[in-house]
Chains A and B, each alone.
Chain A
Amino acid sequence: MGKKVLMKGNEAIGEAAILAGCRAYFCYPITPQTEVAEYLARRMPEVGGTFLQGESEVAVSYMLFGAGGAGVKVFTSSSSPGISLMAEGMSYIATAELPIVLINVMRNGPGLGGILPAQADYFQATKGAGHGDYHFIVLAPSSVQEAVDLIVKSFDMAEKYSNPVMLVADGMIGQMMEPVELPTFDEPPSPYVKGHEKWATTGAKGRERNLVKTLFLNPHEGQDHNVKLQTKYKEIEANEIAFEEIDTDGDLDVLLVSFGTMARVCKTAMESLKAEGVKVGMLRPISLWPSPLQRIRDLADKTKLVVSVELSMGQMVEDVERAVQGKTPVGFFGRAGGIVPTPDEVKDGILNLMKES
């Protein structure tokens, strides 16, 4: 790792993409992630890369498709309403199995909502924003450092699985400054996706022509392609589930499940709960898809209550319930509208749920 520097989350996100070898970034401005674009507007030309502000998020999603389909490591950043507009392209990108990376610095919704932190795009990210049976790999950092590390990892995962990867951060991570160690590499990563010669459109010189497409008019071919995608998703589920566990040894009164910024607030709330004699642990999903369902199921056996704590009106809680399968009561605590609850509010919320259960 390199030396420690103090960086704003959005700028660190931009620099991480460059460090990962990405030399192509397409964007459309939207708060609270516009600093990623502003940072890369200056940085990409410095490293000989491509920076382009598109005419809309819809167009940007197809610029990603085009560049990704040409075997180039490509990146974009946006925020909730912008991701909705990219959802059309996301379905095509997943179908064509293009290894693109994007980050959603989530703001509060629905609709225009506001520009404050939220996690209400959990459904959109994990259940599929666009049409059809597909999955992006979805990763959720809870600090600026983790955002940097996960962006570098995302480019590797996208390449390994020929699958798009989406990070979901929130306005808090994008806007705050934290010390980060930027990764260093003995050999700088290539700006091209490994093995792209076999499938990418670069001009059919000295080989059969390559075709990047998503249309399968023959129903059997269409089904075969779906089966192929699902086989890959099973492999990703087997290999890439990532989470952090805090204080989950022994029997628990309550297990919190929380990710991103909300998980950081929960960590502080856990100290207050412990001071009041509550045996509390937390599972923090890092991969939202694939989801650590099995681990939540296992932990549910040794706790009296599971609580999903979210910056939403209750989305991940549906997966938590799916994991727990009724073995243990499942509660929900959340805030919306861009409100990030204080540790004390979370503590009181958990205590109330414990009383009710």
Chain B
Amino acid sequence: MATTVFKRPESMSTNITHYCPGCTHGIVHRLVGEVLDELGLRERAIGIAPVGCSVLCYNYFNIDFQESAHGRAPAMATGIKRTRPDTIVFTYQGDGDLASIGTNELIHAANRGERITTVFVNNAIYGMTGGQMAPTTMPGQVTTTCPMGRDVQTMGHPLRVSEMLATLKTPSYIARVAVHKPSYVIEAKRALKKAFQYQVEGRCYSLVEFLSTCPTNWAMTPSQSTKWLEDTMLPYYPLGEFKTPDEEE
């Protein structure tokens, strides 16, 4: 008897993504779809799309979606979750959207303990606008708006969002993961599932930060990108759980 061992998650659509070769958005999308399916959340889920490369991410999911303005996704998610508490609400945001223009909305949603989940994709650069410096850009990293490399004397050091959110007293689940190798993907899915599970249980705000690649704007091949992420980003952005609601309870 043939048994199905691998299939497209019901929570995803059949559309082909527009992402560049070597970009990790596709993997992260897939993990969101699998987790929604496995937890039986497809018919309760509402996603919020950001501004950035993943603005069209709703094309790849088969669930209700709202599309946000730059950085405001956590405020929109708050508006939905507070008035429709039985829904499962998540934001999908990149680092330009979340860590720059949207820090206020992010921090206050987390600090209020909104029962929402944030999928944070950090590739250390603005993708859609064509490779500009982000708050997460690495020291010395060349972008179109720091052509001599990021100078920490004038632009500060890369923002560690997960560590910053973990300092809040309000209980939350905050984890950083990577998806550039299969072993990391397994860990990433485990964290994402926990994040949604905490929301299902109504326990806390949850955020999973995915370290991601951007070969196009990093001006690298996909394999060079993976190596650069490993060598440059991983030491500065360590993986792991930074906060769990169990610590506070």
Binding site for B on A (CB under 8 A): 23-24, 26, 50, 52, 54-56, 58-70, 72, 74, 88-89, 92, 201-206, 209-215
A211 to chain B, nearest CB (A): 5
Contacts of A26 in B (CB 8 A): 79
Is the Cβ of B44 less than 8 Å from the Cβ of A212? no
Query: For the complex, what is the distance from the CA of A24 to the CA of B87, rounded to whole Å?
Result: 16
Is the Cβ of B75 less than 8 Å from the Cβ of A62? yes
| Contact A212:B87 (CB < 8 A) given known A62-B105, A65-B76 | no
9 contacts between A and B (CB under 8 A): A58-B104, A59-B108, A66-B79, A204-B62, A204-B63, A211-B65, A211-B66, A213-B66, A214-B69
B70: nearest residue on chain A (CB-CB)?
A88
Contact of B79 among A23, A70, A215 (CB under 8 A): A70
In the complex, given contacts A65-B79, A203-B86, A215-B56, what are 8 additional A-B residue pairs having Cβ atoms less than 8 angstroms apart? Answer: A67-B80, A201-B46, A201-B65, A202-B46, A203-B44, A204-B45, A209-B65, A213-B66
Query: For the complex, what is the distance from the CA of A89 to the CA of B84, rounded to whole Å?
Result: 20
B85: nearest residue on chain A (CB-CB)?
A50
Query: For the complex, what is the distance from the CA of A204 to the CA of B87, rounded to whole Å?
Result: 10
B151 interface residue (CB < 8 Å to A): no
Is the Cβ of A92 less than 8 Å from the Cβ of B69? yes
| Contact A67:B67 (CB < 8 A) given known A59-B104, A72-B84, A202-B87 | no
Is the Cβ of A69 less than 8 Å from the Cβ of B58? no
B3 to chain A, nearest CB (A): 28
Q: Interface majority SS on B: helix, strand, loop or mixed? A: mixed
User: How many residue pairs, one in A and one in B, have C-beta atoms under 8 Å apart?
Assistant: 132
Query: For the complex, what is the distance from the CA of A55 to the CA of B76, rounded to whole Å?
Result: 13
Is the Cβ of B75 less than 8 Å from the Cβ of A63? yes
B100 interface residue (CB < 8 Å to A): no
Residues of B37-94 whose CB lies within 8 A of A: 42-46, 48-49, 55-56, 58, 61-69, 72, 75-80, 82-84, 86-88
A209 to chain B, nearest CB (A): 5
Contacts of B87 in A (CB 8 A): 70, 201-203
Contact of A88 among B69, B80, B105 (CB under 8 A): B69
B76: nearest residue on chain A (CB-CB)?
A66
Query: For the complex, what is the distance from the CA of A204 to the CA of B64, rounded to whole Å?
Result: 6
Is the Cβ of A50 less than 8 Å from the Cβ of B83? yes
Contacts of A59 in B (CB 8 A): 72, 75, 78, 104-105, 108
Query: For the complex, what is the distance from the CA of A190 to the CA of B48, rounded to whole Å?
Result: 26
B172 to chain A, nearest CB (A): 16
Contacts of B68 in A (CB 8 A): 62, 65
Contacts of A206 in B (CB 8 A): 43
Query: For the complex, what is the distance from the CA of A39 to the CA of B58, rounded to whole Å?
Result: 39
B59: nearest residue on chain A (CB-CB)?
A211
Query: For the complex, what is the distance from the CA of A209 to the CA of B77, rounded to whole Å?
Result: 17
Is the Cβ of A70 less than 8 Å from the Cβ of B83? yes
Query: For the complex, what is the distance from the CA of A202 to the CA of B108, rounded to whole Å?
Result: 24
B126 to chain A, nearest CB (A): 17
A217: nearest residue on chain B (CB-CB)?
B56
| Contact A72:B65 (CB < 8 A) given known A62-B105, A66-B77 | no
Contacts of A88 in B (CB 8 A): 69
B9 to chain A, nearest CB (A): 14
| Contact A66:B63 (CB < 8 A) given known A59-B72, A89-B69 | no
| Contact A65:B62 (CB < 8 A) given known A52-B82, A202-B87, A203-B87 | no
